[in-house]
């Protein structure tokens, strides 16, 4: 990103960041008020621990293959949190050395909340008896080691657009796994997925609010950034997902197919998230923008219908894939 543009971005981040403590109070919870993973797991210090684990395993025995695969993929995605934190710490305006109480504080506290998600899902899957945990752990290590490129560079505008979209996508995924768990007769797992989904929605509201504040002070540049991100397409953070002996990214395609077959996260969900963001940010009525930004707005407002035409022609692969993760 050119120097002049970087300086302008930094100025906007400093302007929005003046109220960072208020944003943290509004969108993140005090640690002592948050749920913790062990709130939803058998207590190993109790005499009935093994009987509770047995009940947990029995409730997981009949969960469909694709469902377990999607739950594992979601878990690995959540466990790759070190990648996401390090990426956000490098965004323009985030300075953990010289201004640790500014945007860096947001990143740390957001990360602290997110950390519970993978922790809970990992422990649950370990106890379920359905999962080859070593294979899951290998995929997690690969995903962290391989990193990711979400097309945002160090630009805070593009990063907040991405996180707005991604937090909504993870909310949809966890909410659907919660609904399906209940349908499959596992209300305990449904509750677990549900509390994670609630966190993701709260985080989505935060990042959407950041974008709204940017629109108030730099609408033209925000629209250009949004057009750029949508032309590239929003890629999922686990896009490089793989297993032992599998090329980087190949396992993600199979994970995505399983999610589509189950209806956990589909092409139509992608379009609906885009539509909701265009409405929330009032993109159709943004004013005081330059000519280039007006063209961006026209492109963005026409995009959902264009994507719907493509989605109507897209077929979900029916061929199941044998994941190394599942016993």
pLDDT digits (tens, 9 = 90+) for 76-94: 999 999 999 999 999 999 9
CA distance 223 to 221: 5
Q: Which of the residues 75, 77, 140, 170 is marked catalytic?
A: 170
254 labelled catalytic: no
**Which domains occur in the chain, in start order?**
9-39+52-312 (1.10.620.20)
Q: Which of the residues 74, 79, 114, 218 is marked catalytic?
A: 114
pLDDT value at residue 319: 72
- The answer to whether the CB of 23 falls within 8 A of the CB of 106 is yes
106 labelled catalytic: no
Q: Which of the residues 66, 74, 79, 200 is marked catalytic?
A: 200
- The answer to whether the CB of 60 falls within 8 A of the CB of 189 is yes
280 labelled catalytic: no
For residue 3, pLDDT over 80 is answered with no
CA distance 88 to 318: 37
Q: Which of the residues 74, 79, 119, 167 is marked catalytic?
A: 167
113 labelled catalytic: no
pTM given for the model:
0.96
111 labelled catalytic: no
β-strand partners of 35: none
CA distance 38 to 120: 7
pLDDT digits (tens, 9 = 90+) for 53-84: 999 999 999 999 999 999 999 999 999 999 99
CA distance 310 to 296: 20
170 labelled catalytic: yes
Q: Which of the residues 75, 79, 87, 117 is marked catalytic?
A: 117
Q: Give 2-10 contacts, CB < 8 A, sequence gap 24+.
A: 5/221, 6/92, 6/154, 8/218, 8/221, 9/92, 9/93, 9/155, 9/156, 9/157, 10/92, 10/93
Per the structure block, which two tokens stand in for 64?
A: 């469909």
- Residue 164: name the closest of 301, 273, 305 by CA: 273
Ramachandran bin of 178, using left for φ above 0, alpha for ψ from -120 to 50, beta for the remaining angles: alpha
Give CA separation, 98 vs 101, 102, 110, 222, in Å: 9, 9, 19, 27
52 labelled catalytic: no
Q: Which of the residues 83, 103, 110, 203 is marked catalytic?
A: 203
Question: Burial, 108: exposed, middle or buried (Cβ in 10 Å; 0-12, 13-18, 19+)?
Answer: middle
Q: Which of the residues 66, 79, 155, 199 is marked catalytic?
A: 199
167 labelled catalytic: yes
pLDDT value at residue 318: 78
β-strand partners of 131: 326
15 labelled catalytic: no
pLDDT value at residue 1: 66
pLDDT band, residue 18 (cuts 50/70/90): very high
């Amino acid at each position: 990103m050119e120097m002049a543009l970087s300086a302008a971005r930094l100025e906007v981040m400093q302007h929005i960041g003046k109220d960072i403590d208020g944003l943290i109070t509004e969108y993140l919870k005090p640690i002592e008020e948050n749920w913790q993973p062990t709130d939803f797991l058998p207590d190993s210090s109790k005499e009935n621990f093994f009987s509770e684990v047995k009940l947990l395993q029995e409730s997981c025995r009949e969960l469909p293959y694709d469902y377990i695969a999607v739950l594992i993929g979601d878990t690995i995605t959540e466990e790759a949190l070190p990648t996401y934190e390090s990426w956000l710490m490098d965004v323009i305006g985030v300075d953990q050395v010289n201004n640790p109480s500014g945007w860096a504080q947001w990143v740390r506290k957001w990360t602290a909340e997110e950390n519970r998600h993978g922790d809970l899902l990992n422990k649950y899957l370990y106890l379920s008896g359905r999962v080859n945990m070593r294979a899951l752990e290998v995929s997690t290590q690969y995903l962290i080691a391989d990193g990711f490129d979400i097309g945002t560079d160090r630009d805070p505008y593009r990063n907040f657009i991405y996180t707005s979209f991604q937090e909504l996508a993870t909310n949809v995924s966890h909410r659907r796994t919660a609904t399906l768990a209940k349908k499959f007769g596992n209300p305990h797992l449904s509750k677990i997925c549900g509390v994670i989904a609630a966190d993701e929605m709260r985080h989505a509201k935060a990042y959407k609010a950041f974008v709204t504040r940017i629109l108030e002070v730099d609408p033209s540049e925000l629209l250009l950034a949004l057009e750029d991100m949508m032309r590239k397409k929003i890629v999922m953070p686990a896009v490089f997902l793989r297993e032992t002996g599998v090329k980087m990214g190949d396992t993600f395609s199979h994970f995505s197919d399983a999610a589509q077959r189950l209806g956990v996260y589909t092409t139509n969900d992608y379009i609906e998230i885009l539509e909701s963001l265009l409405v929330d940010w009032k993109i159709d009525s943004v004013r005081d923008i330059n000519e280039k930004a007006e063209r961006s707005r026209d492109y963005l407002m026409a995009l959902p219908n264009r994507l719907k035409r493509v989605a109507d022609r897209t077929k979900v692969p029916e061929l199941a894939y044998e994941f190394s993760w599942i016993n």
